[in-house]
Structure 1
């Protein structure tokens, strides 16, 4: 999955011209969100990575210290 993500983000970076670092950052953050929340992955049973993580947490709660959410954020 990492290789697919890297390939897709590389395509975006090759085909777009960014006028500033903020544009580049916003595009990357938007794509990361799209990839993790909206794009089903064949390797994960045709669900998005966040859906797969939530399913894994339900079946193996002992492996998680925090609840998987849809919200990005920094964890301490």
Structure 2
């Protein structure tokens, strides 16, 4: 089953530019994510993931995002 959800992160001030963030995501297991920019210093990551249940999809996405964007803090999860 496919699960669609969005994770919104507050970025660490040392994270660099939007291009730097995109490079980090592209080189990670989050390369399939759609990225949205809204509030300054925040990024929205829209996922569409296959998994047995939504908890598994979200848990894996959060772990992968933590590796790709060290220091980022999850501030909201939509569609979970």
Instruction: Tell me the TM-score normalised to structure 1 length.
Output: 0.34
Structure whose residues are more often helix by fraction? 1
Q: Which has the higher contact order (CA 8 A, sep 6+)?
A: 2
More strand by share: 2
TM-score (ref. length: structure 2): 0.33
Structure number, greater radius of gyration: 1
